[in-house]
Chains A and B, each alone.
Chain A
Amino acid sequence: MGKQLGFLVDSERCIGCHSCEMACKNYYQLHPSLRRRKVHPIQENDYSMPERNYMSLACNHCVEPECMRVCPVGAYSKRDDGIVMHDPSRCIGCKMCIMACPYQVPQFDPEVKKVDKCKMCAQLIDKGEKPACVAGCPMEAIQIIDITSFNKYGAVKLLPGFPNPSITKPSVRFIKPTIGKQIRRDK
């Protein structure tokens, strides 16, 4: 496998503030219903103690993207660096990709009647800049990594609630939230 860019999402640093999501919307001035990045709450009972933890997800730029496989018009393509691109000029809005993606990443843009999704700000990456979500995170909780060479102690392939990665091999890695000590009055 050559290069495969992906997001490293540090859920220990993440404070669920939605700045990443809004930085993306701001950069592209998206339709209100389009959320190319979404900050998902992790269920309280998924960890030993109730906490407010989040998993910020955009397109996972899968190694084996289902969206690309099912698209009848070849609107999807994969760049050499692994970014999954979507070409709206080819898209016919059939929504096959929306049904196929385990992560509910492609969304239907009601204004242009086509699918819309995160392209990792490929045009910025090509200029050596950071994607809008990465640049817009106040906690520096999102990074771009090349998963073929990425090897960080403690990084994991899934967090609670994240769909099974074996289907499409998503190019996302996570740092797990640490659960601090709590002195509670309900114990």
Chain B
Amino acid sequence: MDKKISFNRRTFLKGAAAASAGLAIGSSTSSFNLTGLKPADAAGDNKAQVFRNACPRNCYDTCAILSHVEDGVIKRVSGDPGSTYTRGILCAKGFSYTRRVYSPDRIKYPMRQKGRGSGNWQRISWNEAYTEIAENILKIKKEYGSTLPICLDKYSGNFDIMHYGIEGMMSSLGYTSRATGTPCWPAGIDAQTFDMGTIISNDPEDLVNSKYLILWGVNPAWTSVHSMYFVKEAQEKGCKVVVIDPVLTQTASKADLYLQIKPSTDGALALGMARYILDNELYDGNWLHNNAKGYEEFFGYVKNNITLEWAADKTGLPKAVIEQLAREYATTKPANIWIGYGMQRHTNGGTNVRAIDALAAITGNIGKSGGGAQYAHLQTWGFNYHAMMQNPPEGTEGGGDRAINMNNFAAEVLAAEDPPIKMLWLACRNPMAQDPETSVMRKAFEAMDFVVTVDQFMNATVEMSDIVLPTTTLFEAPGVNVSYWHWWLYLNEQAIKPMHEAKNDITIAMELSAKLNELKPGSCTFPTSGDLEEWVGKEFNDGIYQMFGINHWTDLKKGPAKAKNSQVAWKGGKFQTPSDKYEFYSEEAEKFGHHPLPIYVEELKTTDKYPLRCISPHWKLNIHSQFQNLDWMESINNEPRLEIHPSVAKEYGIKDGDSVKMFNDLGYIILPAKITGTVPIDTVVTYEAWYKSKDFNVNYTVKAIPADMGKKATGMPGIAFHDNFVNIEKV
């Protein structure tokens, strides 16, 4: 793009922002019908423009998107061929984006609800909303002498770096309470942190170099379709693909070998394999000698405590199968393991990941192209966090923010004292649908004086709020995105004006700051104006430029950039542990209350009262509570199901399509049965999702049981989502 066009576009965007800010009540910009996207009255020429966008969802793939805009309307989206990871292709979710942007269900203007949960909403102006919010904040501050009664619950709904400005908005008020932790993956992060010092994974494009690949509790065919392409390429080149999963997933359906392990016993399988590798001297003694600490102790533990018979009994897999797997894995080079987030959502999930890491280490696969123990990485996230780094107002007293465990959020909000929590601010988050113990969550919301939610759709969390503020989609505001899996960097350009009265979270922070300072000067430090695209630029630094080989962030307008020299994790053999070595024996682990070695920790088991385990993995047409509500998704599927093994169904007298009640002490859900041999005999499966206008929420039965690890790296342990024990009955 030459300078002149760039200048024109910026002028256009500034004009658009001004027009948006000046919208009066009743002047909704959009009129939508089902077949045609009516053009909004954009300034500028009528020629089609192509903008670079990035999918900011909590997903491995973080796709590079091109949006094709005519007359201010996105006519379609496509994959950006500039990324060799996404290869110019999106997924079903990415291809549905116009239906999200132009959905008639979008929240169009600020609203106030009279009676939380009543559905009695009334439209208000942004000014009214800001005034009411600011008055509530100032009232709390006056009453408690602090802003700690205000709690922010924000997480993964949008991982664009600019969205950390939401945390910045809170910091600019003073010290507040913060939902801390991450529900998704912390046990595995801690496990790899104990073993290697941090999480670093090979470039997923390197999967094609594997000769043996174990996909362990991960389902890329649904959760990382672009990686699945590289898996298939490897397979076609002769790589044996093994899937270990309690559920015969879509990925398992494409494997050469599928092992239906008993849930939560992955560590037993890994240790059984280690015993075989040890007994048959298939380990890489050289690698261990040079790179590892505590392998003698680990081998001692394995020798004295682990037998293949025990591993077979634990995992439900025949001894001969474990032996063959161990032999093939240890003798085929390079051998790769991709450790999924699903398998660590157990009370022993972290220690199970450590046992799997140990396999990769004893066979000398770590630090090799086509080898390793892949989990995730955060190497490309070294931004300035300019939007996030805000100072509290002058004279703020206290010792900093208060951490509220995101993974036991409702109970901790209710239990918070001195001061109690009185106000919630929710953004990029839908805890009423996605958190465990929904009934406790409801109580926590009911106990609040004031709840503000920033969102795009009327979901379960919005329903329990006093004020809802409409926010922009990724196409309506600029940003910058990286991935926790691939090594690409994408600029997200503003492609269209904000729809309706929606505002970007940073704009909301700026305007709320202005209101707070108008009512009480000096009460908020967040800047009250600024060009959002310039703010994107302020996120960059020399480290990022060097890592990605760019001179300036605006270079990314020409196309995405990939990190240099990052293709193989731990290539140099220097780890980030206290000993600089791979630590089979980790004193850090011990400090956090774990055994220093990756021993086996007993899994939770079904009970007589609750003889079935419910696993609630990701669904292919959504990411948590996003996408499944769109009409294009509904046309493919609009009904959650409970997947039940044929013999279990027979035992309970359940036929395909029958209504089934799944229940435990916490609650129940009723949904149609799907009888399928893809689930095991002791487990039922339903995919977590938010279906518009359906009272489906698997978390009605999920208890907030902590996973074993997560505290070191993420502040809080994870959630053992898949240790959910239930019974079922035909309704």
Taking a contact as CB atoms under 8 Å apart, the answer to whether B232 and A17 are in contact is: no
Chain A: CB-nearest residue to B322: A183
Whole-angstrom CA separation of A187 from B226 in the bound complex: 34
Chain B: CB-nearest residue to A50: B677
> Which A residues are in CB contact (< 8 Å) with B228?
15, 138-139
Taking a contact as CB atoms under 8 Å apart, the answer to whether B35 and A19 are in contact is: no
> Which B residues are in CB contact (< 8 Å) with A182?
248, 257-258, 260
Interface residues of A in 1-38 (CB under 8 A from B): 12-13, 15-19, 21-23, 25-27, 29-33, 35
Taking a contact as CB atoms under 8 Å apart, the answer to whether B678 and A44 are in contact is: yes
Whole-angstrom CA separation of A52 from B678 in the bound complex: 8
Interface residue A186 (Cβ < 8 Å from any Cβ of B): yes
A31-54 CB mask vs B (1 if < 8 Å, else 0) is 111010001000010000111110
Interface residue A136 (Cβ < 8 Å from any Cβ of B): yes
Whole-angstrom CA separation of A51 from B254 in the bound complex: 9
Interface residues of B in 68-93 (CB under 8 A from A): 75-79, 87-93
Interface residue A137 (Cβ < 8 Å from any Cβ of B): yes
What's the nearest-Cβ distance from chain A to residue B37, in Å?
Answer: 6
> Which B residues are in CB contact (< 8 Å) with A26?
76-78, 95-98
Our pick among B254, B635, B645 for the contact of A186 (Cβ within 8 Å) is B645
Interface residue B18 (Cβ < 8 Å from any Cβ of A): no
A13-B232 CB under 8 A given contacts A136-B95, A138-B226: yes
The interface size bin for chain B is: 35 or more
> Which B residues are in CB contact (< 8 Å) with A152?
none
Whole-angstrom CA separation of A31 from B78 in the bound complex: 19
Interface residue A127 (Cβ < 8 Å from any Cβ of B): no
> Which B residues are in CB contact (< 8 Å) with A136?
79, 89-90, 95
The interface size bin for chain A is: 35 or more
Interface residue B620 (Cβ < 8 Å from any Cβ of A): yes
> Which A residues are in CB contact (< 8 Å) with B248?
50-52, 182
Whole-angstrom CA separation of A117 from B514 in the bound complex: 54
> Which A residues are in CB contact (< 8 Å) with B107?
none
A139-B316 CB under 8 A given contacts A17-B91, A52-B253, A185-B262: no
> Which A residues are in CB contact (< 8 Å) with B226?
138
Our pick among A21, A30, A44, A139 for the contact of B232 (Cβ within 8 Å) is A139
> Which A residues are in CB contact (< 8 Å) with B250?
15-17, 52
Taking a contact as CB atoms under 8 Å apart, the answer to whether A32 and B258 are in contact is: no
Interface residue B634 (Cβ < 8 Å from any Cβ of A): yes
Our pick among B77, B79, B255, B635 for the contact of A32 (Cβ within 8 Å) is B635
> Which A residues are in CB contact (< 8 Å) with B51?
none
> Which A residues are in CB contact (< 8 Å) with B78?
26
B212-237 CB mask vs A (1 if < 8 Å, else 0) is 00000000011001101100100000
A185-B35 CB under 8 A given contacts A22-B95, A22-B96, A52-B253: no
Taking a contact as CB atoms under 8 Å apart, the answer to whether B222 and A180 are in contact is: no
Interface residue B259 (Cβ < 8 Å from any Cβ of A): yes
> Which A residues are in CB contact (< 8 Å) with B676?
44, 50
> Which B residues are in CB contact (< 8 Å) with A177?
253
Taking a contact as CB atoms under 8 Å apart, the answer to whether B260 and A138 are in contact is: no
> Which A residues are in CB contact (< 8 Å) with B76?
26-27, 29
Interface residue A111 (Cβ < 8 Å from any Cβ of B): yes
Taking a contact as CB atoms under 8 Å apart, the answer to whether B677 and A186 are in contact is: yes
What's the nearest-Cβ distance from chain B to residue A110, in Å?
Answer: 9
Interface residue A112 (Cβ < 8 Å from any Cβ of B): yes
Whole-angstrom CA separation of A185 from B262 in the bound complex: 8
Interface residue B249 (Cβ < 8 Å from any Cβ of A): yes
> Which B residues are in CB contact (< 8 Å) with A180?
252-258
What's the nearest-Cβ distance from chain B to residue A89, in Å?
Answer: 16
Taking a contact as CB atoms under 8 Å apart, the answer to whether A185 and B34 are in contact is: no
Whole-angstrom CA separation of A23 from B91 in the bound complex: 8
What's the nearest-Cβ distance from chain A to residue B637, in Å?
Answer: 9
Interface residue B184 (Cβ < 8 Å from any Cβ of A): no
Whole-angstrom CA separation of A106 from B250 in the bound complex: 29
Whole-angstrom CA separation of A31 from B251 in the bound complex: 31
Interface residue B307 (Cβ < 8 Å from any Cβ of A): no
Whole-angstrom CA separation of A32 from B260 in the bound complex: 38
> Which B residues are in CB contact (< 8 Å) with A33?
635
What's the nearest-Cβ distance from chain B to residue A16, in Å?
Answer: 6
Taking a contact as CB atoms under 8 Å apart, the answer to whether B677 and A181 are in contact is: no
Interface residue B338 (Cβ < 8 Å from any Cβ of A): no
Taking a contact as CB atoms under 8 Å apart, the answer to whether A17 and B95 are in contact is: no
Whole-angstrom CA separation of A139 from B321 in the bound complex: 30
* B interface residues (Cβ-Cβ under 8 A, vs A): 34-37, 75-79, 87-93, 95-99, 221-222, 225-226, 228-229, 232, 248-260, 262, 316-318, 321, 620-621, 631-632, 634-636, 645, 647, 676-678, 680-681
19 A-B interface contacts by CB (under 8 A): A15-B250, A17-B250, A18-B621, A26-B97, A27-B76, A29-B37, A29-B76, A30-B35, A32-B34, A35-B635, A44-B677, A51-B248, A52-B678, A111-B35, A181-B258, A182-B260, A183-B257, A183-B317, A186-B645
Task: Beyond A18-B620, A22-B92, A29-B75, list 4 extra A-B contacts (CB 8 Å).
Answer: A22-B632, A26-B77, A32-B634, A136-B90
